[in-house]
Amino acid sequence: MGLVIKNACIITCDQGVVIPDGYIRTKDHQIVEMGKMSAFQLQAGDHIIDAYSRILMPGFVNPHMHLYSQFARGMSSPKMISFLEILEGLWWKLDKALKEEDIYISTLIGLIQAIRSGTTTIIDHHASYGMIKNSLTAISEGFSQVGMRGALCFEVSDRHGEKDAEKAIHENAQFLEEVSEKCMSPNFLLRGMFGLHASFTLSNATLKKVREVNEKIDAPYHIHVAEGPEDAGDAKSNYNCSVVRRLADEGILREGTIAAHCIHVSDVDIELLKKSGAFVVHNPVSNMNNAVGRAPYIKMCAAGIPVGIGTDGMSAGISNDVKTASVCHKEAASNPSAGWNEVQNSALKVNPKIAGHLFGQEFGVIKNGAVADVIIVDYIPYTTVNSENFWAHILFGVLNSNVHTTIVNGKTLMQDHKLVGIDEASIINEARKLSAALWKRIG
Ligand SMILES: [Zn+2]
């Protein structure tokens, strides 16, 4: 007995296997059985979801998200003409004004969007300098309430002074400790990373403290790298080398670290990134929206760096960023074939690998024994789907369709477009009240 999804067109993302008319059975948090419908046998107590020929595939992983940014939608802000102005005029003001309830409801709003977009893991990068202590606990409560999988961290920065940077270091350490006690349970869906804002707001002294505190914990870092000209490490910066060199020398770029953006990087930087074992996360929609430049994505992939695709808070689901990555690098290279394999690899292999590194499990595949993070998409293919062309169906079909059902760790969070056990109306109601009050506080 278990949860059965039948009559599905299964894109396994496992060695290109596609089962045009198949089923899966999950038990507890795992996929325990799968195959063609002709082999399916009903068992007593089975709970059945009929996919009616829709696509079934692994849920998506968003490896760089800012859930705290939700209440910025529609907020008025002055015209900003540089990346630093966007940070100072919008994000740093907003994060300084957040209260506990804002953080919690922002999280729920983002996670509802994640569920609706078929995202089953969110790797969040948090800032709330008005409420540092226990902010990660407030976010984790949101994750637990909806049943989402993810990893959390607080971005350490010197932008509000040394004291706040120390509090932020402590918040990471405290959360990482809490997580290490609980992570043996297969039902505990959160992990921690050590969050850092970006090289240009981190002094050598603060980085030293971070390293000291993290020495025993040994957590991978999650940091913005060379996102704008302000963080490019050129002659204007305080350091006489590139930010990649600095972060590599400081031990921040290491195995499992997430280096978000990596736009203003040289060939030497790319080599350093490759050697470090860090993941790079490309966020093309945010980068275009902030006009900070275009990451040398194809070059970094060619160098053998595992490059994932995230959203940087622009959306909870990765669909827009994956579709944008697939076209912007074609345009840049004047080559309609550019990026085809790279974007597929980022979305279907590297993103799940980043989650896998944190959880010590394999993600992004439908197979026996795999974690039951599964989605059914409102997309019934009208042409053949096979091992040669499934990426085209995902890119042009799945990513343009609504998600029908989202299952995380074997638990159904949404079925037939209806959220399970989540009171969306009251969360929206609360968000409206809290965001209006937040906008007033920011002024
Ligand atoms: Zn970011």
pLDDT exceeds cutoff 90 at 44? yes
Separation of 66 CA from ligand 1 center, angstroms? 6
pLDDT exceeds cutoff 90 at 363? yes
Separation of 65 CA from ligand 1 center, angstroms? 6
- Residue 271: band (very low, low, confident or very high) from pLDDT cuts 50, 70, 90: very high
Separation of 184 CA from ligand 1 center, angstroms? 29
Separation of 137 CA from ligand 1 center, angstroms? 20
Separation of 30 CA from ligand 1 center, angstroms? 32
DSSP 281: E
- The arithmetic mean of pLDDT across residues 369-393, rounded, is 97
Q: Which residues lie below 8 Å from residue 31, measured CB to CB, with a gap of 6+?
A: 24, 25, 366, 367, 368, 369, 370, 371, 372, 374
Separation of 194 CA from ligand 1 center, angstroms? 14
Separation of 223 CA from ligand 1 center, angstroms? 8
Separation of 151 CA from ligand 1 center, angstroms? 14
Separation of 385 CA from ligand 1 center, angstroms? 35
Separation of 25 CA from ligand 1 center, angstroms? 37
Q: What is the pLDDT of residues 167-183, one digit of tens each?
A: 999 999 999 999 998 98
- The encoded tokens of residue 11 equal 């894109």
Q: Quote the pLDDT of residue 239.
A: 67
What is the Cα–Cα distance from 327 to 320, expressed in whole angstroms?
Answer: 11
What is the Cα–Cα distance from 416 to 22, expressed in whole angstroms?
Answer: 19
CA atoms within 13 Å, Cβ hemisphere of 256 = 16
Query: For residue 407, which of 399, 398, 396, 419 has the smallest C-alpha distance?
Result: 419
Separation of 37 CA from ligand 1 center, angstroms? 43
DSSP string, 109-161: HHHHHHHHTTEEEEEE-B--TTS-TTHHHHHHHHHHHHT-EEEE-B-B-STT-
Separation of 17 CA from ligand 1 center, angstroms? 34
Q: What is the pLDDT of residues 192-240, one digit of tens each?
A: 999 999 999 999 999 999 999 999 999 999 999 999 888 876 544 556 7
Q: Quote the pLDDT of residue 236.
A: 46
Separation of 312 CA from ligand 1 center, angstroms? 4
How many other β-carbons are positioned within 10 Å of the β-carbon of residue 53? 13
Q: Which residues lie below 8 Å from residue 172, measured CB to CB, with a gap of 6+?
A: 136, 153, 154, 156, 192, 193, 194, 195, 213, 214, 219
Q: Quote the pLDDT of residue 74.
A: 87
Regarding pTM above 0.95, the answer is yes
What is the Cα–Cα distance from 287 to 283, expressed in whole angstroms?
Answer: 6
Q: Is 233 helix (H, G, I), strand (E, B) or coil?
A: coil
Residue with tokens 């569920």: 115
Separation of 88 CA from ligand 1 center, angstroms? 14
Q: Quick one: how far is CA 418 from the chain centroid? A: 23
Q: Quote the pLDDT of residue 197.
A: 96
- Residue 261 in contact with residue 226, Cβ under 8 Å? yes
Separation of 227 CA from ligand 1 center, angstroms? 9
Separation of 313 CA from ligand 1 center, angstroms? 7
Query: For residue 319, which of 118, 150, 112, 55 has the smallest C-alpha distance?
Result: 118
Q: Is 264 helix (H, G, I), strand (E, B) or coil?
A: coil
What is the Cα–Cα distance from 264 to 261, expressed in whole angstroms?
Answer: 9
Separation of 145 CA from ligand 1 center, angstroms? 24
Separation of 70 CA from ligand 1 center, angstroms? 13
pLDDT exceeds cutoff 90 at 389? yes
Separation of 311 CA from ligand 1 center, angstroms? 8
Q: What is the pLDDT of residues 106-123, one digit of tens each?
A: 999 999 999 999 999 999
Separation of 323 CA from ligand 1 center, angstroms? 19
Ligand 1 is a single-atom ion; what residues have CB below 5 A from it?
312
Q: Quote the pLDDT of residue 229.
A: 84
Q: What are the b/e assignments for 266-290, b being 16+ CB within 10 Å? A: eeebbebbeebebbbbbbbbbbeeb
- Residue 2: band (very low, low, confident or very high) from pLDDT cuts 50, 70, 90: confident
Separation of 406 CA from ligand 1 center, angstroms? 25
Give first-to-last CA distance, the chain, whole Å: 56
Query: For residue 328, which of 286, 274, 364 has the smallest C-alpha distance?
Result: 286
DSSP string, 95-114: HHH--HHHHHHHHHHHHHHH
Q: Is 270 helix (H, G, I), strand (E, B) or coil?
A: helix
Separation of 260 CA from ligand 1 center, angstroms? 7
- The encoded tokens of residue 322 equal 């994956």
Q: What is the pLDDT of residues 54-72, one digit of tens each?
A: 999 999 999 999 999 999 8
Q: What is the pLDDT of residues 238-251, one digit of tens each?
A: 567 899 999 999 99
Domains of the chain: 3-59+364-419 (2.30.40.10), 60-69+110-359 (3.20.20.140)
